[in-house]
Amino acid sequence: MNLVNKEQVKKKMASRLFTNRILQGLLLLATLFGLIVLGVLIYRMTTQGIGYLSLDFFTNFASRFPEQAGIKAAIVGTLWLMAVTIPVSLILGVGTALYLEEYAPKNRFTRIIQVNIANLAGVPSIVFGLLGLTIFVRLAEMGQSVLAGGYTLSLLILPVIVVASQEALRSVPKEMRDASYAMGATKWQTIQRVVLPASIPGILTGSILAFSRAIGETAPLIVIGALTYVAFLPENLYSGFTAMPIQIYNWATRPQIEFQELAAAGIIILLLMLIILNSIAVLIRNKFQKRY
């Protein structure tokens, strides 16, 4: 008495395998779609912009004449912004995540904060621009400065860093913490010696993605009044500034074909910066993983 009809099983076999093959193909197509579009984009940018990628492009300021225009102020401006944004958002973000995950009592108040942070991650960037304009530029009287820009970008990516860090902290197994507590370690010692080292790869992965987003952000910087035509470098945190995406935006909106090509060259540089940033992330991650 067999409940499983072997005949039927055999008949169904071919169609099951066929479905599997079809889906494999479809999913591959889905993957290829993204890759091909990206490839086309990179190809277009390179062919358009390569002509402008000379040393002059890096050492010249913006100019009315395309052949003299360079991206120096924008590169330096972006580096200044990142020098503010990265430490500020990392310290605040990881700190918040540590408090919420490790110290905060699991009550309603904590849950409300939690939900709000998750929601903030979805707020459009221009809203953060308005926030930065109100708080940093006006209330705190920082003016349209590198500092105000950096803080605004920090606010913008803070929720992402908090959520990613919490995720990373949560993934540290309870047995690890227990082992530490059972030896008489305090909470902070456990965090410092067990929890953080184990979660740093995860924290960095999330954070670097957030930094990449910050580098490419245009809207909030325009709102807080980043300059578009700059012939000087920021001297300190209170200097005016421009940034890569703003310069690119500025060029791309001009009618002349030469400026379009300049924009393409700018995009190449921006992409290179992102690649470098991501490589650094991978390096740090590997270093920490090897120590285990």
Tokens standing for residue 77: 């401006």
**In sequence order, what are the residues at sequence separation of 6 or more whose Cβ sits closer than 8 angstroms to the Cβ of residue 44?**
264
C-beta closer to other proteins: residue 16 or 290: 290
C-beta closer to other proteins: residue 196 or 271: 196
Least distance in angstroms from the C-beta of 182 to other proteins: 4
Residue given tokens 């190809």 in the structure block: 43
C-beta closer to other proteins: residue 65 or 292: 292
Tokens standing for residue 21: 């093959």
C-beta closer to other proteins: residue 197 or 216: 197
Least distance in angstroms from the C-beta of 286 to other proteins: 15
Nearest partner of 64 among 206, 251, 267, judged by Cα: 251
Task: Give the interface with other proteins as residue ranges (CB under 8 A).
Answer: 106, 173-186, 189, 193-194, 198, 291-292
C-beta closer to other proteins: residue 62 or 168: 168
Least distance in angstroms from the C-beta of 177 to other proteins: 8
CA pair distance 221, 227, nearest whole angstrom: 9
Least distance in angstroms from the C-beta of 94 to other proteins: 20
- For residue 231, with 0-12 CB atoms within 10 Å meaning exposed, 13-18 middle and 19 or more buried, which class applies? exposed
- For residue 64, with 0-12 CB atoms within 10 Å meaning exposed, 13-18 middle and 19 or more buried, which class applies? exposed
Tokens standing for residue 81: 């912004």
Least distance in angstroms from the C-beta of 196 to other proteins: 13
CA pair distance 207, 30, nearest whole angstrom: 27
C-beta closer to other proteins: residue 184 or 255: 184
Least distance in angstroms from the C-beta of 198 to other proteins: 7
